[in-house]
Each structure stands twice: as structure tokens, then as C-alpha cells.
Chain A
Amino acid sequence: MKRLLKGGRVVDPANGRDGIFDVLIDDGRIARVGKGLSADGAQVVEIPAAFVITPGLFDMHVHLREPGQEHKETVATGTAAAVAGGFTAVACMPNTSPINDNAGVTEYILQKAAQANLARVYPIGAVSKGSNGDQLADIAELRAAGCVGISDDGRPVKTALLMRRALEYAGMFNLPVLEHCEEPSLKGEGVAHEGYYASTLGLRGIPGAAEAIMVQRDIALAEMTGAAVHICHMSAATSLRAVREGKNHGVRVTCEVAPHHFTLTDESLAAPVSYDTNMKMNPPLRASVDRDEMLKGIVDGSVDAIATDHAPHHYDEKKMEFDLAPFGIVGLETCISICFDRLVHPGHISLTRLVELLSTNPAKILNIAAGSLSEGAVADITLLAPDMAVVVDPAKFRSKARNTPFGGWQLKGGVAATIIGGRTVYVNEAAAGAEALR
């Protein structure tokens, strides 16, 4: 079946495009992108001028919780949340139960993803067996089963020696190592950023240096081995300084920042609600200097990707004493609105840069042929409505979980529709004109 998306603004950094173009989809692939394309047997969809057509958004850091923690999220609910957030693909971290450290778990996740038939799911395998940091997982086997990277996310790769070996060994397959950077002894029993607010509230602190030390270790090892390391959910100004320096010296280091780390600070621990467990995540909300530096990195290009670290938890688990509640917040269904409202509309970044951060670069880092509207590419497309008014209502999330710090936020910009392999998988009824994409 042929479909012609007529007259939207196409933003496709991979092909250097930003302008009004028609997009012809044929048999699930992009057939042509150009001006005044002939309909010629295709179903014509008039795209409202206010919409922006981009390559499918790609969240390279989510937790889908399946297998083992289906009370928090499943592959089906997580991918439903993804498409509602405009994401056509997600990379899911291996800290499931059991850990995704063998082909059996990888295949199980992919099977669940195929059944759900929503966002594409790219599993990340474990670096070490059980993510225990002792022995490498069967990395070739994980890769053969479909893993696109390795990580012990939730914890750092335990020793510098194991990290060295992981980089060397995975480098053979050009698999990136995705690192949760945290020096465990400095983190200790910490639950919030070490600073004035945690101190006043009597909460144990996690200093920014706990992250930066591990970033510095991994950059040194990436330089030594020549392999690629990716820094997950970076939050501290000192870490970003190390990444910039690594990049300047030609080290293969990339990094991602989560929306909460370029919007919120540790002040949110105290107000408007004190000890709100939806403000508890790891790495924690940091000081305003850190938040401002993350924003600067997004603007100047030293940050490669925006990823949500979507971490669903059950209501009961979060309704605990702050010390006892689990770390993490959901992010799939709020990400794009936050990015529009806090990055694009205030003029910090262009739409092109936004698409690089949320599509082109994540695909590049994970070596996946996605993130472009090139002719012949799979037709994974996101239609955005930059001027749409959005009020974050957790009750309407497609995710099983509601643990967001953004509930009630009024934002400008959202998703109109999500198309995967030429098939419309999500239409936002609140976006005027999106109905035509059904």
C-alpha cells in the first residue's frame, strides 16, 4: 500500500533536510521525499502545516521490566507508552529478573515485542553474568540474539579490569558499552544529591563526584582500548567536562542526558511537596549549576542524545518513606513535550538539533539503520505538533506506572502521530488534523 504524506515540514538531519516536502511511503519504506510528488495510486494524507515530520524518535534508555517485574511494566505497556510519546524504537536495559545476560532472555523480550507489535525494541545485554561484575556475559551470543549494546545498568561495571575487558571484547563486534557511572563507595546509602537540600531534609547525599570519577575511569579505558563507551543518564557538570575533554582528544565517548536532569534541581526535594518520592531517581536531581551545564551541553553539541531512563515502579513501591522508595521515574510520555517546551520554544536548540538528539544520534551510537528519512529506509516516522498545548495527566499514561515528577505541568508541544514501518500505530486525538493519519 502506498501513502503520500502531503505538505508537512520535514526535519531530517541525516539528509540535511528542513522544509516543506511530501513523503511517499510504499510497502513500509520511504519511497521518496520531495516537492510536489505525484499521488499516482497512493492514498493522500494532507498534513496540517503546523505538523513536523521527523524520523521516528528513538529512546535509547528505557526499562521495560519484563521478564520478572510485570507489576511495574510489560513490554506491551512500555511500548504502548513509547508510541504515545512519539518513539518508534526503544533500547531496553538488561536489569530484568532474570537479568538479560543470555540469549534466552533476549529472545523472550523480542518475542514479547513482536506480540505487542508497537515500538521496535532493541535489547541491551548485560556486560557481566547476573550483572555481578565478576565474569563477562556471553556477549557474542547476546549479539547474535539481537542485543545492540551491553550494560550493567542499575550499577556500574564493578572493576576497571572488567570494564577494560568488556570494551576490548565487545569492541570486536563494534558493540558499544553503555555505562551507569557511579562510584559505589561514594554513593553509599545516599538517596539524593549531596547538597543543601538533602542536608536540610536529613537525607543521605550522593555527590556529583561519584558519577564523575566513573566517567573519568571509563574515558581513560576507552582511550586505551580504542573502543566506544556511552555514558548513560549523565547528571553532573564535572562528568560533562570529562566527556568534552575526551571528545577533544578523539576518544570514542558519547553521552545521554535525561529530561529531568536538564529541567529540575534538588530544590524539588523540598517544594512544592517535601520528600516527594517522584523526585527520587539515580542519578539524583542535582544542583542548578549541574542542571544548567547539562542544558549547555545539549546546546553546544557535547551531549549526544536525550534519553528518558524510563523507570516504571508500582504505586505501592513509591508510596514509601523517601529512603525506602525505589529510584526512578517514567519518562516516555512526557519527554517530547518537555523538550519542546524547555529546549525548542525558548530558543535553546533548533528542531534539527532536537531530532539529532532524539533520533539520529541514538541510532548512530547503537549502530542501527534508523533515524533518517532516506529513500529506501524503513518508514518509521514521528509527526510532531510543536504548538499543541499539553497538560501532563499521569492518569492517562499508557504505561502501567504513574511515577512522574511532571504531573500537572502545562507544556507546549506534543506528538500528533507515530508511524512504524508505514503503519500508523498511534494517533493523538488532541492534535487537530492527526485523524487523517489513521
Chain B
Amino acid sequence: MISKLRHKDLLGIADLTPDEILLILETAEAMREIGERPIKKVPALRGKTVVNLFFEASTRTRTSFEIAEKRLSADTLNIAAGTSSVVKGETLVDTALNLEAMAPDMIVVRHAHSGACHMLSRICKAGIINAGDGMHEHPTQALLDAFTIREHKKRIAGLKVAIIGDLLHSRVLRSNVQLLTKLGAEVWASGPPTLMPPGIGREGVRTTTSVDEAVEGADVVMLLRMQLERMQGAFFPSLREYFSVFGMTHERLRRAKDDVIIMHPGPMNRGVEIDSDVADGPYSVILEQVANGVAVRMAVLYLLAGGAEHEAAA
């Protein structure tokens, strides 16, 4: 078993080896235990500065990172694009260089444009953690999804995972496809042809416009949000029609395995991609995903900051 990651940054699952993914998931197991203690804090990142640089609104992800950083005793600060010099017309590069001048150890970045984190990683000595860049990747989401799946199924390899929804605009899809195929899952993607990313089949994903085919015998059903804000023009006739053709209902779920779990990265559009009965039903692990997000992000922060080796050297 390896004990550290090869890169200073986490830009995407595409850059991780299967062993690195497993290392993060194993480390997250240990981190979760910290969250169950009466005093939820360890000194692992004491003296480290972590900047949460969010150019896009986010409640869940930013809060999750911040809690993870605080549980590891890092000094954290949050910069929301609306309150920074970005509104004064400063470029991303200049914003990054100014932050860099104050020597943070890590920068957690969310940005509306794909590739923004790659750009920052080339400029900054600080480790960059991608908290979602455009339609590209959202690696910590895929990691927490994998953590949640493993918790229930004890494995990833060989599972049938159906991902259904707005595939085209989804960074969660891209990270999950990378991760799940690397760990040997059978990934099915389903949605209207207008929302199917070109060339997705090259990643070893099976695509179908039939939700029933995707759900048939599935171990995991993951629903993706209709990202109405990223859609230009008509990708489907109406939300009502979308729900009638693709929406996840109890009726449709009958084709899945008896112990199927239902996942959603949030925020949910109830009655669009998922029926409330399903979202709140017995197979739903949606809130567990949120809980696990903290442990997984603690693991990523810890490993990127140098992990056990770093502590020994200090």
C-alpha cells in the first residue's frame, strides 16, 4: 500500500491512480472516527493555512471543506468572489499571485470555468484542491460518493452503477466516471441524447436513453441535478416531460437490485430528476454522502499537506 500522493494538487480524478484513490478512501475511514469523538479536533494541520477561494456560490461544499480544515486544526479563511477584488476586474492569475504572496499552504478552489484550477496549479506553490471547476471535475464529490458506496457494498469493482440526469453539464459525472471505471465498476449513463457528452463511450461507460435499462439490476442509482443555470436553449421540452421520461420513481426502481442505494450530489430538484418518495425513502443515502464529505475532505487535505511523512519531517 502506498502512503502518499504523487502530486501537490488534486485537480481531478483523472490524475489519480487506483492506488491513490484507495489511499484517500482508507485515510477517510480514520478521519471519520475523529468526527465521532466528543472533541472533534486533531492537530494534524496545525500551523497550516488553507484558503477557500470560491468563485461560485456553494453552501454544502464550502461548509464541508471548512469543517474538515477546522477538525484538522488548520488556519482557514474564506474568500467569496463577490467580496474580493475579482469584482474590481482583477484577473484570476493576479488574484492567485496575490494570495500566493501571503504563502498559504493550500487553496481550495471552486470556479465557473473548466481548467481554472489547472491554471492556478501552474502558478502557485500552494497545493490546489479542485472543489469544482466548470463542467470539468469535482473530485472530492466522486471520492465521497465512492466512500459511501464502499460503506454499503464493501467494494466498487463489479458493481453496476447507473448515473442518470444532466450528464452534459455535470462535473460530478466526469469525476465519477473516472473514479468508478478506474476501480472496476460497470458504469451506465442515461439521459436524453441532448444531454449526453460526446465521446463518453471512450471512457468505458455504457450509455442508454432507456432509464429502465440503466436501472435494471443496478447496485447504485445516482441522480444528477438538472443544471438549468448552465443550459442554453432547449435540451428537452419541459421539466414535467423530463420527469415523466427520466424522473426516478419507486416504480422505476423496482428493476434495480433489492439492496440498491440512491445517491444525489445535491442540491436536488424534487419532482424533476427524483421523486420525493425516492429521495426520502429507505434506500436513499443522500445525507450520508454529505456526512462522509467531511471525512473524505479531511483525508485529502491531510494527504496533500504531506500526511504522516510530513509530520515526521517536522
Contact of B114 among A194, A202, A319, A320 (CB under 8 A): A202
* Mask of A198-222 contacts with B, CB within 8 angstroms, 1/0: 1111111100000000000000000
Asked if A321 CB lies within 8 Å of chain B CBs, one says: yes
- CB A131 to nearest CB in B, in angstroms, measures 24
Is residue A189 contacting chain B, with contact meaning CB distance below 8 A?
yes
Nearest chain A residue, comparing its CB with the CB of B173: A202
Specify which of A188, A194, A198, A322 is in contact with B113 (CB 8 Å cutoff): A322
Closest chain-B Cβ to A183's Cβ sits at a distance in Å of 14
B232 contacts chain A at the CB level, 8 A cutoff? yes
CB of B197 within 8 Å of the partner chain: yes
A175-199: CB near B (< 8 Å → 1, else 0) gives 0000000000000110000111111
Chain A residues in 8 Å Cβ range of B171: 202
Also in contact, A274 and B118, with CB within 8 A (given A202-B174, A320-B91, A321-B92): yes
Say yes or no: is A169 at the interface (Cβ < 8 Å to chain B).
Answer: no
Check B160 for interface membership: any CB of A closer than 8 A: no
Provide the residues of chain A in CB contact with B118, threshold 8 Å: 274-275
A323 close to B (CB within 8 Å) = yes
Q: Which of B91, B137, B198 has the most CB of A within 10 A?
A: B198
Q: Which residues of A contact B113 (CB under 8 A)?
A: 321-324
A195 to B233, alpha carbons, bound, how many Å?
A: 20
Task: Identify which of B26-34, B128-136, B291-299 touches chain A.
Answer: B128-136
Q: How far is the CA of A18 from the CA of B38 in the complex (A)?
A: 89
Taking the closest CB of chain B, its distance from the CB of A270, in whole angstroms, is: 9
Residue count of chain B within 8 Å CB distance of chain A: 26
Instruction: Choose among A189, A202, A320, A323 the residue that contacts B137 (Cβ–Cβ < 8 A).
Output: A202
Report which residue of A194, A198, A199 has the largest number of chain B beta carbons within 10 angstroms of its beta carbon: A199
Residues of the B chain whose Cβ atoms lie less than 8 Å from the Cβ of A198: 198
Encode contact with A along B100-127: 1 for CB under 8 Å, 0 otherwise.
Answer: 0000000000010111101100000000
With A196-B202, A199-B199, A202-B134 known as contacts, the answer to whether A322 contacts B91 (CB < 8 A) is no
Partner among B91, B119, B233 whose Cβ is within 8 Å of the Cβ of A275: B119
Determine how close the nearest CB of chain A comes to the CB of B244; give it in whole angstroms: 27
List which B193-211 residues lie within 8 A (CB) of chain A: 197-200, 202-203
A-side residues, CB < 8 A to B, are 188-189, 194-205, 274-275, 316, 319-324
- Apart from A202-B133, A274-B115, what are 4 other A-B pairs with CB-CB below 8 Å? A188-B233, A275-B118, A321-B111, A322-B114
Please list the residues of chain B having a beta carbon within 8 angstroms of any beta carbon in chain A: 14, 91-93, 111, 113-116, 118-119, 133-137, 171, 174, 197-200, 202-203, 232-233
